[in-house]
Amino acid sequence: MQEHFRYIIAGLVLLIFYLLYLILHDKYSDYQINEYITFLEQDNAARTETIAEKELYNAYVRTPAYETRIAKATQGKKLPGEEIIHIISSEDAAQNTTINVSEQIQSALKSDENPTKGMSNPEKWIYYLTKNL
């Protein structure tokens, strides 16, 4: 009889440990879920802030004042009644007048140290596939 009580007590102890394991596992899972929810809320808030900033910037970019500013800066345009004065040094102006752009481009193309220059397309493929071997 005493032997049966030992088995019953051992079974109850195992049951208690199993129930404790289930409780701790459930609490840990809840903790992980809550941390993930917190992370998602913070990420959502950051993205919402970024979206608001981008919408504000987009609204600014679509204004006529911004378009006028960009046109003035990039295309040299002006509003009626405005006078534009470009102030550069005489040295810069002298340097720019002596440069021939097409000659500069041609000399850069000629001095290009391209190992595949003059190769046919199959030769280039063979070169690229075997150069790292």
> To 10 degrees, the CA torsion angle through 17, 22, 27, 28?
90
pLDDT in tens, 64-89: 888 888 887 777 777 788 777 777 77
pLDDT in tens, 86-110: 777 777 777 766 667 777 777 776 7
DSSP string, 37-78: HHHHHHHHHHHHHHHHHHHHHHHHHTSHHHHHHHHHHHH---
- Phi first, then psi, for residue 104 (nearest 5°) are -65, -45
pLDDT band with cut points at 50, 70 and 90 for residue 17: very high
Taking the whole predicted model, whether its pTM rises above 0.75 is answered as no
Query: What pLDDT shows up at residue 106?
Result: 75
Do 127 and 116 touch, CB atoms closer than 8 A?
yes
Query: What pLDDT shows up at residue 1?
Result: 65
Do 116 and 124 touch, CB atoms closer than 8 A?
yes
Q: What is the mean pLDDT of residues 51-60?
A: 93
- Using alpha carbons only, what angle is made at residue 35 by residues 30 and 37, rounded to the nearest 5 degrees? 95
The DSSP output letter for 126 is H
